Amino acid sequence: MKKLIGVFGILFLLTVYMSAQSKVVKNFEENANGYKAFAYQSVLRMLNQDQNPEFNKLIRNLDHIRLVTTDSTGVLALKSFKQLDKGIRGEGFEELLTFNNKEYKCHVYELSSKNKKTTWVATFYAQGRAGLLEMVGSLDMKYISALSSLSMDQLQELIPDAAGMDWD
């Protein structure tokens, strides 16, 4: 009996360890005093204004999405952006895309875990603020057209003003 409990305990700890959130994302979220939003798949399903079954297929492998921004601006935000990038790369994330121009910078990273769950992190510096968007899981790209069923009005209600950021 003790062996069985010990085996289950070890399996539980391994599961928690393998699915743990990125330490860089966790630290940034704890220390950033800007906007924070978090949505599980169930919340996203509620935003399916047309009740389109393909929308549910699009997000069926998605665990959650997280958005975090700083409240600092200018040079301090740019420093946060650079620290985020360095930390994410240091955790073994692979850089997939980079967008850099005078107005904004965005870097998209991917990390696959041992439990086959993929984490995507996009770091950004835009409109003088830094932040990140984390997505754990994946979208089924066969159903990407179903994004048109996303209720933008309800989404904006969930994400009011986002720390003064102008989203247009």
57, part of any domain: yes
> So what's the pLDDT on residue 103?
81
**Residue-wise pLDDT tens digits, 66-119:** 999 888 888 888 898 999 999 999 999 999 999 888 888 999 999 987 777 889
pTM exceeds 0.85: no
> How far is it, in rounded angstroms, from Cα 14 to Cα 6?
12
Determine, yes or no, domain membership for 165: no
pLDDT at 104: 85
What is the model's pLDDT at position 159? 61
Task: Tell me the CA distances in angstroms from 59 to 30, 97, 133, one per residue in order.
Answer: 27, 22, 16
| Residue 58 domain flag | yes
In angstroms, rounded to a whole number, what is the distance separating the alpha carbons of residues 3 and 64?
35
Q: Which of the two residues, 21 and 11, has the higher pLDDT score?
A: 21
Tens of pLDDT along 37-64?
888 988 888 888 889 999 999 999 999 9
Identify whether 31 is part of a domain: yes
Alpha carbon 54 to chain centroid, angstroms: 22
Q: How many domains does the chain have?
A: 1
The reply to whether 17 falls in a domain is no
10 is a domain residue: no
113 lies in which domain range? 22-158
- Residue 43 inside a domain? The answer is yes
Amino acid 85: pLDDT: 93
Residue-wise pLDDT for 124-157, tens only, equals: 998 888 999 999 998 888 988 888 888 877 777 7
- Is 98 within a domain? yes
* CATH number for the domain that contains residue 124: 3.30.310
Q: Write out the DSSP string of 104-128.
A: EEEEEEEEE-TTS-EEEEEEEEETT
pLDDT beyond 60 at 168:
no
* Res 88: pLDDT: 95
From CA 18, how far away is CA 27, in angstroms rounded?
A: 18
